Amino acid sequence: MPKRRRAIPGGRGNTSRPPKAWTRWHEDAACADLPSQLFYGHETENSADRAAREAAATAVCEQCPVRCQCEAHAVTMPEPYGVWGGTTEASRRNHRHRVVAPAYGKTTRAS
């Protein structure tokens, strides 16, 4: 039976490599000892189950001492999957669209 992975952002179950300075905050995350299934859904997950799982995951994030670092990581990397720093896949996707979309409106047309 395979070993269960911990819910550490970015596939944090790989402990064979030493942590880099920019990922050391993972060690202090509230989710460090929780199962990754809480933060990452499966392909066949229905919308009601997804909403319940994401609500439970974001509740963990609300109490996390490194939430800001986790959220910043998720937005800047960008992380396409899972709950990170209290943000869901959909909220990060919407954030990226809001940030990119105004840039197109400010461009001028070539004459």
Residue 30 banded pLDDT, cuts 50, 70, 90: very high
Bind-site residues for [4Fe-4S] cluster: 31, 61, 64, 70
User: Token match 């109490």: residue?
Assistant: 63
Whether residue 1 has pLDDT greater than 70: no
Q: Is residue 62 part of a domain?
A: yes
| Separation CA 111–CA 92 (nearest Å) | 36
Please check whether residue 13 lies inside any domain of the structure.
Answer: no
**Nearest Cα to 61, choosing from 7, 5, 1?**
7
pTM of model > 0.75 = no
| Total count of domains within the chain | 1
Q: State the residue range of the domain holding 88.
A: 21-105
Say whether pLDDT at 106 is over 60: no
* Binding site, annotated residues: 31, 61, 64, 70
The answer to whether residue 8 sits within a structural domain is: no
